[in-house]
Chain A
Amino acid sequence: MEAFSLLLHGFAVLLTWKTLALMLVGLLLGVFVGVLPGLGGPNGVAILLPLTFTMDPTAAIVMLSCIYWGALFGGAITSILFNIPGEAWSVATTFDGYPMAQQGKAAEALTAAFTSSFIGSLVAVLLITFLAPGIASFALRFGPPEFFAVYLLTFCSFVGLGREEKHKTIISMALGLLLAAIGMDTVSGQLRMTFGLPPLLRGINFLVAVIGLFGISEILLTMEERLALRGHSASISLRVIWNVWKDLPRYWVTLLRSSAIGCWLGITPGGAIAASFMGYNLAKRFAKDPSTFGKGRIEGVFSPETAAHASGTSALLPMLALGIPGSGTAAILLGGLMVWGLNPGPLLFVEHKDFVWGLIASMYLGNIVGLIIVLSTVPIFASILRVPFSAIAPMIVVSCAIGAFAIQNAMFDVWLMLLFGAVGYVFKKIGIPLAPFTLALVLGNRSEDAFRLSMIGAGGDLRVFWSNGLVGSISTLALILLFWPLIGRALHTAGRFRRPVKT
């Protein structure tokens, strides 16, 4: 029950007018960002991060995480009304959501999407509340070798479990780790890969790279496509909400299954995208009449949305407990922690109780308030899409530039952002995944430090990574995951669920 009293303390931290106002602003901005094409959760959070530099960390994380919840909610609006997924994780929502809108049941579909998002998040937040403190206190016993083993596990699981071609994941990760190593070496003080350029002395800032990779490149990709759209507008009445909610108990199996899938894939680097497809495919597989899926079935909205939200939320669990982000957005929030002067990792739960429990409390409150906001303001957000993209695109570019500049007050970073924008565009089009790059860039220095500290401690003996049961089993697990594609051929059939079905 300790978690419960700490949670109450978190709510007490949260309940000030300023924090609540920031929460509301965050949620509205988030839904806005989620609805707009060419901007998603990670970019929205990255671009708006500079706004929080002068806030205290708790207010800052509450606002940023609310942007994230808002974006998760917003993605569903365009999928259902316009058949355009605002986010990659809402692709599966279009399969049944758009047909429902065509049949004039847009309000039902939206209510179902928002409600199931809420349920998915709630399950994940409960998981975080009761699991994260335990994991963190367990991890307090970790020394550098254990931490390095955990980082290795993260990297290896990306390579081994990712759905992309292996060599592309490896390229992306190696490049991220290399760029993270640019600048002053933290152990010896020697300069590395700076080539005499003064701006490189500080190294390449992770957030600048993220703004370029996700913000600018996304604009370039969006411009390539035909931006004309045609869809439905909808408003949700209390009657519709009641009708959907009173049917909810009938779908408890679907909701529970999707939540479980989402939580699992959120903690491991499967991500919200894989979770939403897997949730949808499993719901279809276990249904009595699978052929009605794709024709406007409400379960086809429930299952992917619950899974995507559960996954998006539970991705924060490893970030809070271990300092290892479970998703791109979590990686950016982690970057934020460092900017605010907090050291991510298990010590957070000991040293910054206000921060951690304020954040966890804000997950509960943010999701409830978010649900109310989206249910009541859908028509406004749907009409944002009437604004021509040629007005939105330059505004996003300016926001990106402001964000990139503000991080270190350096014009060099704005140019770097532009370069990363071009790189991100090309990488996305040839299928080199960006998530491993982001993760490697944010964890690069920490993992290298952990490695070299363990080497100094062990006198340069690599066997330190198998020196006791704990570190040995993590290291072994990491290697197993790295070679999982070779080991797990026999279990390959299970992977079928993670790919989109042809409809």
Chain B
Amino acid sequence: MSQREDEIVVDDPGAPEEESPALATTRSVEVGVYLLLLVVAFVLGFDNWRAGIGWAPDGPRPGYLPFYLCVILAGASLYGLAVAFLKRGEAAKTFVTRDQFRRVLQVFVPTFLFCLLTEWLGIYVASFLLIAGFMRFVGRIAWWKCLLTGIVFSVAMFVTFDVAFDVIMPKGPLEAAFGF
């Protein structure tokens, strides 16, 4: 197709395939979430029960409201489970396909590593690594563009937050070497 002057076209080479096999159905994920919420409701409910769920002369004790919220949460989750169970005959909707999940992990795993690196290297070095690495390995963009974008963005953030607005961020050995 010829590209007209007034058109903007952006391609997405790593796009997920349309007919990629489904990893999970929405219903099975829903059931999993409801079960997890039941556990959460039970654990939190138990803690609140210990804090006191009674009614003192001057009103509810600390655990009273949260405890009954746990009961409501558990009730709504059970209802959801029942609905999911009753609908089990219907056609399943796909929660995520394998290709889609791969792409989601492509963001989630680097983000996780970024948080981990921030603990040691400080947020600015970690963000440089995240941006340059992500652009290079996920976006397959030329090296020099990746490095340049990473440096410019990290320095801009540093100047904006640490210098201009006095918002203190976690810093690591590199910033220490420059005396910050």
Contact = CB atoms under 8 A, between A and B. Distances in A.
Contacts of A185: 51, 62
A164 B157 CA distance: 39
A405 B123 contact: yes
Contacts of B139: 388-391
B175 interface: no
Interface residues of A, number: 77
A391 B15 CA distance: 15
B153 A178 contact: no
Contacts of A234: 6
Interface string B61-83: 11101100110110011011001
A220 B107 contact: yes
B170 A411 contact: yes
Contacts of B149: 391
A165 B7 CA distance: 41
A383 B160 contact: no
Contacts of A178: 44, 66, 69-70, 73
A459 B59 CA distance: 7
B48 A193 contact: yes
Interface in B110-164: 110-112, 114-115, 118-119, 123, 127, 130-131, 134-135, 138-141, 149, 153, 157, 160-161
Contact of B73 (A174, A383, A397): A174
With a 10 A CB-CB cut-off, give which of A394, A421, A422 has the most chain B CB atoms: A394
B63 A426 contact: no
A390 B141 contact: yes
B177 interface: no
A425 B157 contact: no
A226 B118 contact: no
Contacts of A501: none
A403 to B, nearest CB: 10
Contacts of B176: none
A494 interface: no
A398 B161 contact: no
Contact of A414 (B8, B59, B115): B115
Given A224-B16, A393-B107, A394-B110, A448 B10 contact: no
B179 interface: no
A411 B131 contact: no
A177 interface: yes
A82 B37 CA distance: 39
Contacts of A50: 161, 167
Contact of B80 (A167, A232, A427): A167
Contact of A426 (B12, B29, B66, B72): B29
Contacts of B170: 405, 411
B63 to A, nearest CB: 7
B62 A188 contact: yes
With a 10 A CB-CB cut-off, give which of B62, B95, B114 has the most chain A CB atoms: B62
Contacts of A132: none
Interface in B17-72: 26, 29-30, 33, 37, 40, 44, 47-48, 51-52, 55-63, 65-66, 69-70, 72
Contacts of B56: 460
A139 interface: no
Contacts of A371: none
Contact of A54 (B73, B112, B118, B167): B167
Nearest to A169: B76
Interface size for chain B: under 10, 10 to 19, 20 to 34, or 35 or more residues? Answer: 35 or more
Interface stretch (A253-261, A344-352, A449-457, A475-483): A449-457
Interface in A353-411: 382-383, 385-386, 388-391, 393-395, 397-399, 401-402, 405-406, 409, 411
A405 B100 CA distance: 29
A230 B2 CA distance: 12
Nearest to A81: B8
Contacts of A385: 8, 10
Nearest to B26: A430
A174 B76 contact: yes
B131 A395 contact: yes
A364 B33 CA distance: 45
B106 to A, nearest CB: 7
A406 B167 contact: yes
A188 B106 CA distance: 46
Contact of A397 (B40, B77, B107, B157): B107
A401 B123 contact: yes
With a 10 A CB-CB cut-off, give which of A50, A230, A383 has the most chain B CB atoms: A230
A238 interface: no
A224 B62 contact: no
Contacts of B160: 51
B90 interface: no
Contact of B65 (A388, A395, A448): A448
A171 B73 contact: yes
By Cβ-Cβ distance, the 8 closest A-B pairs, closest first, are A390-B139, A455-B59, A228-B12, A398-B127, A227-B12, A226-B15, A394-B134, A174-B73
27 contacts: A54-B165, A54-B167, A167-B77, A171-B80, A175-B40, A175-B73, A187-B62, A192-B51, A193-B47, A195-B47, A220-B107, A225-B16, A226-B12, A230-B10, A232-B7, A386-B10, A390-B139, A390-B141, A393-B134, A394-B110, A401-B114, A401-B123, A421-B111, A427-B33, A430-B33, A452-B60, A455-B60
Interface of B: 6-12, 15-16, 26, 29-30, 33, 37, 40, 44, 47-48, 51-52, 55-63, 65-66, 69-70, 72-73, 76-77, 79-80, 83, 95-96, 100, 103-104, 106-108, 110-112, 114-115, 118-119, 123, 127, 130-131, 134-135, 138-141, 149, 153, 157, 160-161, 165-170
Interface of A: 50-51, 53-54, 81-82, 165, 167-168, 170-171, 174-175, 177-178, 181, 185, 187-188, 190-193, 195, 216, 219-220, 223-234, 382-383, 385-386, 388-391, 393-395, 397-399, 401-402, 405-406, 409, 411, 414-415, 418, 421-422, 425-427, 429-430, 432, 448, 451-452, 455-456, 459-460
Given A224-B16, A227-B15, 7 more contacts: A192-B63, A193-B44, A195-B47, A223-B107, A394-B134, A394-B135, A422-B108
